[in-house]
Amino acid sequence: MSTLLRMLPLLAILLPLSALAQAPADLARENQQLRQRIAQLEAEANRARQQISDLQRESARLQAEIDQLKKGPQKPGAGGPSNPDDQTLAPVPSAALASPESLLAALRAAYEKDFQGKSFDAKDEREQYLRLAGTFARANQAKHRGAIDWAIYISDINAPQGGNMEGMGGLIVQYQAVDPRSHKAFSRETHTLSLTQDLADRLLPKRNPGFYRLRGGLVPDLKVNRDRPAATEINTPPLVGPFVELRFTINPTSILPDASAPATPPTPPTPLPAPGTGPTGRP
């Protein structure tokens, strides 16, 4: 008993020291758990921001298409490459990513080659044709991705009709693709580039019409539409060939004024813009 009593002061010292030795380990474990939780929340926040940005771009694209359709029907055949007999237009470049018109022309040439001699008149032929159209769309969608460097003329920059796009995060840019040397347009069609508010503020802060250089990445979006065996009066989006529609997205990295361009705009566009591009842009 007396021995135990003599040990009590020593125990009184050792027990707090033991507790102090455990405290740093517990604190380190709690800090590690907090860091992991913070990293998890940051990742979730980044995913949410990306989803919001994607929804804003898609909303801008859809609103642009609605605005175009409200303006009335296109002339039959609108949305294709320019007329080579029209001396006010520049020849369409052969490189597929040189302009929107070049992309459409290249895809139409590839379609004509792949589907030459094929028919979809009979029901069984139609189903086989649609399967081949899907294969064509997937293959060419992957093939024609790439970087672009386009000379363009921006004719209009605004929020879409019927909605405050700036308030929800974006602008609609109407433009024509032009030859970088002559600054003539490749066609009379205009195209649409949908920008989120962040991109508009960063890449196009002055919002002025004029000649620019548009650089970025192009991603074709080829879709099979079972109900469009031929172009309709409202040719939106344009057909590559029976059942295959073309849209494309542009993810712009820069939109810079072209100091070498003339002050006058290129060949006037047709009254109704052809579908164009959107992220940001669609044809």
87 inside domain: no
Name 260's Cβ contacts closer than 8 Å, sequence gap at least 6.
none
In a domain, 67, yes or no: no
Q: Which residues pair with 249 in a beta bridge?
A: 219
Domain span at residue 228 reads 100-282
For the chain, the domain total comes to 1
Residue 237 inside a domain? The answer is yes
For residue 131, being part of any structural domain is answered with yes
- Cis check: omega of the bond before 237, within 30 degrees of 0: yes
Residue 199 in domain: yes
Q: What is the rounded distance in angstroms from the CA atom of residue 198 to the CA atom of residue 204?
A: 10
Q: Is 19 contained in some domain?
A: no
Q: Strands (DSSP E) along 53-133, which ranges?
A: none
Query: What is the value of pTM for the model shown?
Result: 0.65
Give the range among 73-77, 194-198, 270-274 with minimum mean pLDDT. 73-77
**DSSP per residue, 173-208:** EEEEEE-TTT--BSSS--EEEEEEHHHHHHH-SS--
Average pLDDT over residues 8-24: 55
Q: Does residue 214 fall inside a structural domain? A: yes
Q: Tell me, what's the pLDDT at 179? A: 94
Mean pLDDT value across the chain: 78
Q: Is 57 inside any structural domain?
A: no
Position 107, amino acid: L
